[in-house]
Chain A
Amino acid sequence: MQETIMSREEIFEKIQEVLDDALGVDEDEVTPGASLTADLGAESIDFLDIVFRLEKTFDFKISQGELFPEGLTDNEEWVTDGKLTDAGLSMLRERMKHVDFDAFGASDRDISKIGDLITVNSLVNFVEIKLAS
């Protein structure tokens, strides 16, 4: 059986198509640093659409909360007064290795802005990690 390894560039091109279909954005707007919510206008329900499209495109299953952070505010250990705690940050770093939390960790950690951390690049990272596992 021949195994095909997909390059980051190939993954990126497929993600451009996924976001083009899910969000109705032009492919040239889908740059590696573009945030799904802040730059590409994704809303919460679009995340479900993106998950389904990624599953179909790359032929793997994505569990709820695996790609996008969910249920953080349910746990006071993770979020206090609308801010991500050190424990919350550690938990996210461990669970979501595809996301770069460095700048967020050094900021005021406003939980309402955490969705902005999901960039096109983090989707590429996610797919790369999933395909390698």
Chain B
Amino acid sequence: MWIDCILEHEADSRLVAIKNVSLAEEHLHDHLVDGKPIMPFSLMIEGMAQTAGIIVGSTSGFKEKVILAKIAKATLDCDVTVGDTIRYDATIEQIDTAGAKTMGIIDRRIAGGDAWERIGKVELLFSHIDNNMAGVSFPEHNFVFSDNFKMILDTAGLSGLVEV
């Protein structure tokens, strides 16, 4: 998972999650700009996709299989480095049986700081694959349910979002 914990949840509409950027993560050892480890933007988009994917999936109790279908737009104004915290704020803009569109704001809190600053926006499109793959069958189990995913929901007190 590319988020550490969930901070806010508004049912069926918005989810806010954070990610602490640590040098313990191996990918930062190989992603240097002027010798400084920088969080790859692609992984920040993945973090936003996971945040937005949880709120989209939660609208159906995670019974629909939701996949990231398209990165409609993604902008990032500055780099994130070790010790910084990233905040992903995802809101569902449109949703129907075929899929969903989300708008995401990326904020950064620099190491040792208190204030959040807005550094990017990510617009994503999710597909409800059971409704869009005309006859293609998928496994019965929902493949987003990793142990990490369940732990993040439990920690945020949101395990009730999952319909058993």
Contact = CB atoms under 8 A, between A and B. Distances in A.
A45 interface: yes
A46 B94 contact: no
B134 A45 contact: no
B91 interface: no
Contacts of A49: 70, 72, 101, 125
Contacts of A22: 72
B96 interface: yes
A45 B72 contact: no
A48 B127 contact: yes
Query: Which size bracket describes the interface of A in this complex?
Result: 10 to 19
A73 B73 CA distance: 33
B134 A64 contact: no
A56 B94 contact: yes
Interface residues of B, number: 17
Contacts of A52: 93-94, 101, 125
Contact of A55 (B73, B94, B134): B94
A interface secondary structure, majority: helix
A48 B97 contact: no
Contact of B98 (A46, A48, A56, A74): A48
A33 B69 CA distance: 27
Interface in A38-60: 44-46, 48-49, 51-52, 55-56
Contacts of B101: 49, 52
A73 B134 contact: yes
A49 B94 CA distance: 10
22 contacts: A21-B73, A22-B72, A45-B69, A45-B127, A46-B70, A48-B70, A48-B98, A48-B99, A48-B127, A49-B70, A49-B72, A49-B101, A49-B125, A52-B94, A52-B101, A56-B93, A56-B94, A64-B96, A64-B131, A71-B134, A73-B134, A74-B134
Interface of B: 69-70, 72-73, 93-94, 96-99, 101, 125, 127, 131-132, 134-135
